[in-house]
A and B are shown apart, each in its own frame.
Chain A
Amino acid sequence: MVKFLDVVIAGLLLGGLYALIAMGLSLQYGVARVLNISHGEFIMLGGLTTWTLNTMFDINPLVSLAVCGPVAFILGFILHRTLFKRLLASSASPGVFESNSMLASFSLLFIIQNIASIAWGPEIRAYSYLRVPVNLAGAVFGANRLVTLGFAIVIGLAFYLFVTRTRMGKAIRAAAQDPATAGLMGVNIDLVLALCFGFGAAMAGMAGMLISMCYPVHVVMGLEYTIIAIIVVVLGGLGSIPGSFIGGFVLGIIGSVVTHIDPGLSLVAYYLIFILLLLVRPTGIMGR
């Protein structure tokens, strides 16, 4: 029984991170219609920045959250304002924009990864923070992982309230449903889309910071997280914040169960679930 609990809690801890990453991608793809292949690169940037701040300047990782989030937001905002807005204007149809923006984000992946490898080099980086064991109903976990889950939930909840309770949130939901009509209703659509892209990048940056607290980070880690984010988004349902959380936790638990059985098969299991899901219910758990 303790063993079972162990596996489930480990899954939940992992799932919180997955949910946060997926929420960012879901925002970028669900609202701004950019399937951002370079999503993981923002995670990598967040992780490596936190590492640098921690080892060079001895800054608490939780403080660097205040750096990673806003910087990633500004980066994403500017990217949408310059690159994707231009693409949107020049694309003939939403389908063309989707494929063009995906390819553009792929070239962003190249660019960001290369700049990062010049700045940080190929070494695997890690630092130690809050590595104290905590007893959770008989199962023992590092305090850093619990902090990670707590932050993921707080960020997710804050964003959920922002989207459901504020005027800007309403504009975002309108833009997700129908950008053209939302524009006609007086929503500044360019601003909303750029904001969403920025928020997505900010979530990736913050997730990167949280990941660096528990796992080693390196320059080429991004794509793996992008793929996980895509799986979670499809699992939870596109553009749904609760869906991202449910999807993240489900995938986290599945991952930790399979890792318990055979560590080599966890990624195989992710893709099998992903493929089965696409065949049976491509709209996801919370999708319409």
Chain B
Amino acid sequence: MNTTRVDLRKVWVPALLLIILLLLAALPYGRPGYTVVLVYTILMYIVLTVSWVIFSAPTGYISLAPAAFFGVGIYTSAILGMALPLPVVVCIGGLASSCLALLVGALTLRLRGIYFAFFTFGLVELMKHFVLWYELKFTGTRGRFLIPVHNNTIYYVMLAILVALLLTTYFIRRSKYGLALQSIGEDEEAAAHTGINVTLLKVITFAISAVFMGAAGAIWAIRLTYIDPYIAFDPLNSFMPVLMAIFGGMGQLYGPILGAAVFSYLREVLITRFPYYYMLLIGIILLVAILYLPNGLVGLIQKWHKRALGGQHANT
């Protein structure tokens, strides 16, 4: 009895995921450009959120560096965009970000708790002001232009990044390596005593999460077409993944995905409907989520699920 159930699940979940993937892949056909842009914006936020979750959820280190990695990707694309083909640029964007993450991680991951959050937030501002100073001093311009490409191309690249990211996340969570990360989050000292190379593991995971943020930034730059340091290193890009992950709930892999999808869609709708009040509305929604949904949307769904199951049991 039990085995058939497990088998069914094993078939159903991948089949469902494959159907979703196929639907997403078929989406640009016969749809207006706006829908495509909306969907890849959502995909972009999912990429940022899930790659933030890879590192920060199991270890408990709140990183506010996503904007720095995202911005490095954007600048890679702006500098190399004309010289190299797009997939290569995206890969280099990811690699450049992960190099920065390796360096920063090796320097700072011994900082605990809120100091790590401070540091990573400072990093974003440091990068922004440094690039601004460099551009004004040496290139004499403030911003850069990029050659636009077709929306569908951006869409497929973003989707490819997301699929790669989800596969990576899945394998990390399933592996011994993911278990080690989890144990660092629970008790770092104990993890070190069981023979885990704590520092190495943290630095590598930090770098892996940066790869996808950088790649997303590299393709996002082309959608922006004009960039300057304020756009590329916007601190909002650091906070959004954190907020979206918490909004969704971090217990399960689908939590951050759900949170990012719902929240970024909500954000787009609010921006177009209430351009003057959207920040106010977002602030209120977040506040309510923090106060009343401590486990995010996933927590809410699980609660409903339990209640529904409880009802069934009561009937029988």
Chain A interface (Cβ within 8 Å of chain B)? 35, 83, 86-87, 90, 95, 98-100, 102-104, 106-111, 113-115, 117-118, 223, 227, 230-231, 234, 262, 264-265, 267-268, 271-272, 274-275, 278-279, 282
Contact = CB atoms under 8 A, between A and B. Distances in A.
Secondary structure type dominating chain B contacts: helix
B12 interface: no
B279 interface: yes
Nearest to A231: B122
A107 B115 contact: no
9 contacts: A90-B294, A110-B280, A111-B280, A114-B279, A115-B280, A223-B235, A230-B121, A264-B133, A278-B122
A107 B290 contact: yes
Given A114-B277, A115-B280, A279-B108, A274 B122 contact: yes
B126 interface: yes
Interface residues of B, number: 40
B111 A111 contact: no
A114 B133 contact: no
Contacts of B280: 110-111, 114-115
Contacts, number: 106
B130 interface: yes
- Among A35, A83, A110, A262, the one with the most B-chain Cβ atoms within 10 Å of its Cβ is A110
A83 B287 contact: yes
Contact of B111 (A98, A267, A282): A282
Interface of B: 60, 62, 107-108, 111, 113-115, 117-119, 121-123, 125-126, 129-130, 132-133, 136-137, 235, 239, 242-243, 246, 276-280, 282-284, 286-287, 290-291, 294
Given A103-B246, A107-B283, A111-B284, A98 B113 contact: yes
Given A110-B282, A223-B235, A230-B118, A100 B290 contact: yes
Contact of B243 (A95, A103, A278): A103
B283 A111 contact: yes
Nearest to B60: A95
Secondary structure type dominating chain A contacts: helix
Given A106-B286, A268-B130, A271-B123, 8 more contacts: A86-B291, A87-B291, A98-B113, A103-B242, A118-B277, A230-B121, A267-B125, A268-B126
B285 to A, nearest CB: 8
Which 6 pairs of residues, A with B, have the shortest CB-CB distance?
A110-B283, A271-B126, A111-B283, A107-B286, A114-B280, A114-B279
B133 A278 contact: no
A227 to B, nearest CB: 6
B291 A118 contact: no
Given A35-B114, A114-B283, A278-B108, A265 B242 contact: no
B100 to A, nearest CB: 13
A115 B17 CA distance: 42
B290 A87 contact: yes
